């Protein structure tokens, strides 16, 4: 009964905030199957049009959009940004929902958005165009602490969970196109970019540990605020709860730390 009430509450909220809400419910139930679907979402006078993939019963793309655009999971970062029209680096941009949300809520002057998976990268660029957002440079590569080339496979059941660590993840990805993609070193990439940034957002399915651990700590002085969706460390098997200490050693003051897998860490420079 509790699960049913929660489901009904979710459906009613979708009806209130999304156009074609009943079609979304039918897609969610698997009664209608489409390779792509245009989600039109309105929240507090902010309007979004996002092309996503509803074809799996997991509805991974839709839940990612709901988390960012409807539930506004990242809203705790807003009080830390002391000006409008910020400068942003988005690692793991996926469909562009976080960057578009930040642009609608506080404004973006310039953004660099990394997304290595080919289908997600196409959708990312299309969604920026669809929402008349032209302040971003999109980069079709992953980010890590060291440069290399990896093989990436789209996880059809949950595209946002595609990881650069497929060779050591125990649960194999579902069928999908496999591509070789570059992993760039964050510090090396920053050598070609001038100036500091207001915000570094990281959502890269475990690679946040490698980025923080293997990047020169002096690099992070260039990012005033850091927000990350945290997973267990896929390489050194550290639990998500230990990510906070690692980032605090870089000079950040913790504002929020959920201390759980897929929870958020938010830190601001103490200086």
* Better pLDDT: 181 or 12: 181
β-pair type (148-153, 252-257): unpaired
Closest CA to 196 of 89, 116, 73: 89
So what's the pLDDT on residue 6?
52
- β strands within the chain, DSSP E: 37-43, 46-52, 86-91, 108-114, 136-139, 142-144, 148-153, 178-185, 197-202, 223-230, 252-257, 263-269
pTM (2 decimals)?
A: 0.90
So what's the pLDDT on residue 216?
94
Local structure of residue 135 (DSSP, 8 states): S
Q: For residues 13 and 182, what is the distance between their CA atoms, to the nearest angstrom? A: 40
Question: What's the whole-number mean pLDDT along residues 143-159?
Answer: 82
Q: How many CA atoms lie within 13 A of 212 on its CB side?
A: 28
Question: How confident is residue 11, by pLDDT bands cut at 50, 70 and 90?
Answer: low
So what's the pLDDT on residue 13?
63
Question: What's the whole-number mean pLDDT along residues 27-51?
Answer: 89
% of the chain exceeding 70 in pLDDT:
85
Tens digit of pLDDT for each residue in 161-201? 778 887 554 455 455 567 889 999 999 999 999 999 999 99
Tens digit of pLDDT for each residue in 80-89? 998 899 999 9
14 Cβ partners below 8 Å, 6+ apart? 21, 24, 25, 66
Tokens of 262: 């897929």
Query: Which CATH number fits the domain 73-269, given the four candidates 3.40.50.20, 3.40.50.150, 3.40.50.970, 1.10.3720.10?
Result: 3.40.50.150
Tokens of 213: 């651990």
* Better pLDDT: 72 or 173: 72
% of the chain exceeding 90 in pLDDT:
67
For the chain, what are the domain ranges? 1-68, 73-269
The partner residues of 151 in beta bridges, in order of sequence, read 180
Tokens of 251: 């000079």
The sign of the CA dihedral 70, 47, 267, 240 is positive
The partner residues of 266 in beta bridges, in order of sequence, read 227, 256
Query: How long a stretch of residues is the chain?
Result: 271
């Amino acid at each position: 009964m509790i699960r049913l009430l929660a489901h009904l509450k979710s459906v009613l909220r979708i009806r209130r905030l999304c156009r074609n809400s009943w079609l979304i419910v039918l897609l969610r139930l698997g009664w209608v199957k489409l390779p792509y679907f245009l989600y039109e979402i309105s929240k507090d006078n902010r309007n979004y049009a996002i092309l996503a993939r509803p074809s799996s019963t997991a509805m991974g793309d839709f839940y990612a959009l709901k988390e960012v655009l409807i539930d506004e999971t990242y809203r705790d970062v807003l009080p830390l940004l002391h000006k409008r029209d910020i400068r942003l680096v988005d690692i793991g941009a996926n469909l562009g929902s976080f960057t578009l949300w930040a642009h609608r809520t506080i404004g973006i002057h310039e953004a660099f958005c990394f997304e290595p998976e080919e289908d997600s990268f196409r959708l990312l660029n299309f969604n920026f165009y669809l929402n008349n957002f032209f302040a971003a440079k999109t980069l079709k590569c992953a980010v890590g602490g060291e440069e290399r080339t990896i093989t990436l496979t789209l996880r059809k059941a949950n595209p946002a969970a595609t990881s650069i660590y497929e060779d050591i993840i125990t649960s194999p990805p579902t069928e999908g196109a496999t591509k070789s993609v570059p992993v760039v070193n964050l510090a090396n990439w920053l050598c070609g970019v001038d100036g500091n940034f207001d915000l570094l957002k990281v959502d890269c399915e475990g690679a946040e540990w490698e980025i923080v651990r293997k990047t020169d700590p002096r690099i992070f002085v260039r990012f005033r605020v850091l927000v990350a969706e945290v997973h267990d460390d896929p390489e050194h098997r550290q639990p998500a709860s230990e990510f906070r200490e690692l980032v605090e050693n870089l000079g950040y003051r913790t504002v929020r730390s959920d201390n759980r897998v897929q929870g958020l860490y938010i830190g601001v420079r103490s200086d």
